[in-house]
Amino acid sequence: MSRGDMAKPLLGHRSMEGDPSITPAASRTIGVLGSGDFARSLAIRLVCSGFKVVVGSRNPKRKAGLFPSAAEVTFQAEAVKKTDVIFVAVFREHYSTLCDLADVLVGKILVDVSNNTKINHHKESNAEYLASLFPACTVVKGFNVVSAWTLQSGARDGNKQVLICSNNQEAKRTVAEIAQVMGFTPVDMGCMSSAREIENIPLHLLPAWKIPIFLALGLFLCFFTYNLIRQVIHPYIREQKNKLYKIPIEVVNTTLPCVAYVMLSLVYLPGVLAACSQLYYGTKYRRFPDWLDQWLQHRKQIGLLSFFCAALHAMYSLCLPMRRSHRYQLIETAVKQAVEKKMNIWVEEEVWRMEIYISVGIIALGLLSLLAITSLPSIANSLNWREFSFIQSTLGFIALVISTLHTLTYGWSRAFDENQYKFYLPPTYTLTLLVPCTVILAKVIFSLPCIQQRLLRIRRGWEKGRYVKFVLPSATAEYSSGETSSNV
């Protein structure tokens, strides 16, 4: 290596001041057409990020007071003349009214930030339409996935991706740099044909939540019907007692924990199935079936819905003593005991059962809250891989075990009481235990050293049937590992 090479820094440092092709943020002027909500928030964020901002309005005098004093508010044509990069913060319907500016816009970069009200609303995307109106400009699609509120809340409120596409690489790079200086993460979505997809993104309603929500609703419906039969229909048919009043609170409150508990176990079940598949095929390189893949990807949403149901269960339970029905029942019991001259009503076993039941329930809810909080991107980003995996995997599994204790202390010995089998249907809690106990049992089996070691080796890349060289201490001969699998 020559002396000259040694003098160079090891890591190439791209100085914004040194590179004439890159204008430092503070000296670059950005134009904004429009003075609405988005334009205002954008201007504030641009000013805070060190840019000079010039706003183009049809009525600058009236609108100037709405913008920070550092931003210049002028007529549209005046604003456009002062900058090369212009954000078009105007609705698509009004693009044609900007055609008078065509001459002053020649050669400039137009950033289309617009959204539609319906998916695939128009034949061509808004950005392509803008490009067709101004063929002498370079159009870049971007910033539409960011709301006016996000722009105002600043970079401290979690990082946000800005999807960008254009047919011009240079223009795309310029807009990406502006996004970066503003504290966003630019994502290159390719050429202008992606604009339609980018414009559809803000219109999708919870795409990752559909399956988990249907799953939660399905479970809720099943358990609700089961509890309704046991708590309302059975007493009506057998004893002609009207227990319909139980539907709004009691039946719902016995259904919610069932859904929460089963959903929590469904967060950990796909991991168990994936481990079984890896152990069976002796490799981690075999693709999981699509349904398992989908399931693994939806674990966060399933977990959050489990937390939601558990939180509702806690609130319903706190409100149980407030009900009129509860007060009447309490007074009725007291009167009965007085008539029967019963003095000691303390049942030691019941007291202990309730104390333990409530205590483990609170701990389980606390752990679920922790899991829910750490699944938020802004919190998850602040954790390293080990911390995240400890909370989501280890503490999550502990939450499942504690929830099982909560369920068992609730049920106590009722599973062995004949009177609890209404229409021969077992108590609901015994049904809910099925999947969680399977998951816990599988996890215990996987933690046995012989299985754990094998799983660890597989996850580090070891494969069954792969030729492995090893040398016996007593001989120098080489053997193959002997394990083969036709599946791998």
Q: Indicate the burial class of 377 (C-beta count within 10 angstroms; 0-12, 13-18, 19 or more).
A: exposed
| Of residues 37 and 78, the one with the C-beta less far from ligand NAP | 37
- Token pair 């349904």: residue: 291
- Residue with Cβ nearer ligand NAP (59 or 484): 59
Binding of residue 130 to ligand NAP (CB under 6 A): no
Q: Which residue of 25, 28, 38, 176 would you call a contact of ligand NAP, by CB under 6 A? A: 38
CA distance 194 to 190: 7
Of 85-93, 233-241, 304-312, 426-434, the segment contacting ligand NAP by CB under 6 A is: 85-93
Residue from 23, 147, 317, 359 touching ligand NAP (CB under 6 A): that is 147
- Angstrom CA distances, 478 to 160, 169, 344, 465, 485, stand at 55, 56, 80, 16, 20
Q: Which is nearer to ligand NAP, 91 or 281 (CB)?
A: 91
Contact status, residue 280 vs residue 458, Cβ threshold 8 Å: no
Among 22, 179, 153, CA closest to 87: 179
Candidates 59, 333, 381, 453; binder of ligand NAP (CB under 6 A) is 59
Assess 35 for contact with ligand NAP (CB under 6 A). Answer: yes
Contact between 58 and ligand NAP by CB under 6 A: the answer reads: yes
Give φ, ψ of 175 to 5 degrees: -70, -35
Pick 97 or 297: Cβ nearer ligand NAP: 97
Other beta carbons less than 10 A from residue 66's beta carbon: 16
Alpha carbons 487 and 464: distance in angstroms, whole number: 10
Q: To the nearest whole angstrom, how small is the minimum distance from the Cβ of residue 57 to ligand NAP?
A: 3
Name the packing angle between helices 396-411 and 348-374 (round to 10°).
Answer: 160
For ligand NAP, give the closer residue by CB, 29 or 153: 153
Size of the residue set binding ligand NAP (CB under 6 A): 21
User: CA–CA separation, 124 vs 122, rounded Å?
Assistant: 5
Q: How many CB atoms lie within 10 A of CB 82?
A: 15
Per-residue x/- track, 262-291, ligand NAP (CB under 6 A): ------------------------------
Which listed range, 113-121, 270-278, 394-402, 438-446, lies at the site for ligand NAP (CB under 6 A)? 113-121
Q: Which of 25, 28, 34, 232 binds ligand NAP (CB under 6 A)?
A: 34
SS3 53: strand
* 115 scored as a contact of ligand NAP (CB under 6 A): yes
Integer CA distances (angstroms), 301 to 40, 401, 406, 414, in order: 34, 20, 23, 33
89 binds ligand NAP (CB under 6 A): yes
- Select the span of 29-37, 218-226, 254-262, 298-306 touching ligand NAP (CB under 6 A): 29-37
| Rounded Cα–Cα distance for residues 464 and 441 (Å) | 25
Stretch that binds ligand NAP, among 8-16, 35-43, 407-415, 429-437 (CB under 6 A): 35-43
* 297 contributes a contact to ligand NAP by CB under 6 A: no
Residue 142 in the binding site for ligand NAP (CB under 6 A) = no
Task: Give the one residue of 46, 79, 85, 90 binding ligand NAP; rule: CB under 6 A.
Answer: 90
148 sits near ligand NAP (criterion: CB under 6 A):
yes
The answer to whether 63 contacts ligand NAP (rule: CB under 6 A) is yes
CA-CA distance, 239 to 487, in Å (whole number)? Answer: 60
Residue placing its CB nearer to ligand NAP in the complex, 59 or 337: 59
Position 219 contacts ligand NAP (CB under 6 A): no
Q: Is 78 in the site for ligand NAP (CB under 6 A)?
A: no
Closest CB 165 distance from ligand NAP, rounded Å: 15
The CB density around residue 453, as the number of other CB atoms within 10 Å, is 10
Which is closer to ligand NAP, CB of 66 or CB of 249? 66
**Within 13 Å of residue 77, how many CA atoms lie on the same side as its CB?**
7
161 lines the binding site for ligand NAP (CB under 6 A): no
Closest CA to 215 of 309, 313, 314: 309
Q: Provide the b/e sequence for 17-32 (b: ≥16 CB within 10 Å).
A: eeeeeebebeebbbbb
Of 8-16, 112-120, 302-310, 412-420, which segment contacts ligand NAP by CB under 6 A? 112-120
Yes or no: say if 36 and 89 are a contact pair by the CB < 8 Å rule. Answer: yes
Cα–Cα distance measured from residue 241 to residue 232, given in angstroms and rounded to the nearest whole number: 8
Binding flag, residue 114, ligand NAP (CB under 6 A): yes
| Contact with ligand NAP (CB under 6 A) among 44, 45, 53, 57 | 57
Give contact residues for ligand NAP (rule: CB under 6 A): 34-39, 57-59, 63, 89-91, 94, 97, 113-115, 144, 147-148
